[in-house]
């Protein structure tokens, strides 16, 4: 009888609600790096917007971005699972030429933070332009394609590539 009374009491349901909502907010903050509002305030905001008729496009939609929180969560969780399953191996560097241009392709087991094209990368006193980054499969799923620059200028925005372990280097 005590378990029945405990499970049907409104205070028990209130505590369970806050536990579930807190868990969802924690997962959102940990994996997607976004902070969600509590549900009662969100509902109050939606009701207020409906009453006042101010339900236009959000700031993100006006800026040209899609608001896909669920796909963002799924992508972040998929990324964490991929990192936990792939072993940490040294980066693989491949130097090759296409016509007169020289390229450096880096295959890595971990995603490199802030490596989004077009960025300038410095590796062993040589400057490169990050042309492309792609996801693949295998022990080194992340591929970065860099074009060698004839000259470069050091600044705060230049990424410095200094691998932790000695990379595997080969030429095509």
* Cα–Cα distance list, 150 to 93, 103, 130 (Å): 19, 12, 14
Neighbouring residues of 54: CB distance < 8 A, sequence distance ≥ 6: none
Q: Tell me, what's the pLDDT at 87?
A: 85
Place of tokens 């700031």: 59
Which pair of tokens denotes residue 137? 């499969």
Q: Tell me, what's the pLDDT at 57?
A: 63
Q: Nearest Cα to 113, choosing from 83, 70, 87? A: 83
Q: Tell me, what's the pLDDT at 55?
A: 59
Q: Tell me, what's the pLDDT at 60?
A: 58
| Successive 10-residue mean pLDDT values, the chain, 172 residues | 89 91 82 73 82 67 58 76 83 90 90 87 89 86 91 80 80 72
DSSP per residue over 47-92, as a string?
A: HHHHHHT-----HHHHTT----HHHHHHHHHHHHHHHHHS-----E
Q: Tell me, what's the pLDDT at 67?
A: 55
Helix (H, G, I), strand (E, B) or coil at 19: helix
Q: Tell me, what's the pLDDT at 25?
A: 81
Helix (H, G, I), strand (E, B) or coil at 171: strand
**In what helix (H) or strand (E) does residue 170 lie, and over which residues does it extend?**
strand 168-171
Q: Nearest Cα to 107, choosing from 72, 144, 135, 132? A: 144
pTM of the model: 0.56
Q: Tell me, what's the pLDDT at 124?
A: 87
Q: Tell me, what's the pLDDT at 147?
A: 93
């Amino acid at each position: 009888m005590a378990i029945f009374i405990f499970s049907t009491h409104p205070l028990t349901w209130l505590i369970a609600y806050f536990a579930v909502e807190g868990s969802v907010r924690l997962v959102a903050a940990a994996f997607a790096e976004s902070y969600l509002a509590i549900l009662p305030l969100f509902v109050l905001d939606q009701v207020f917007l409906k009453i006042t008729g101010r339900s236009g496009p959000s700031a993100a939609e006006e800026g040209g971005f899609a608001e896909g929180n669920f796909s963002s969560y799924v992508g972040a969780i998929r990324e964490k699972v991929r990192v936990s399953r792939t072993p940490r191996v040294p980066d693989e560097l491949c130097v090759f030429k296409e016509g007169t241009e020289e390229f450096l392709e880096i295959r890595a087991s971990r995603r490199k933070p802030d490596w989004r094209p077009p960025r300038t990368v410095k590796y062993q006193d040589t400057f490169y332009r990050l042309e492309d980054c792609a996801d693949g499969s295998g022990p080194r799923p992340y591929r970065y394609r860099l074009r060698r620059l004839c000259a470069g200028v050091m600044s705060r925005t230049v990424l410095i590539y200094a691998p932790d372990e000695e990379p595997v280097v080969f030429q095509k």
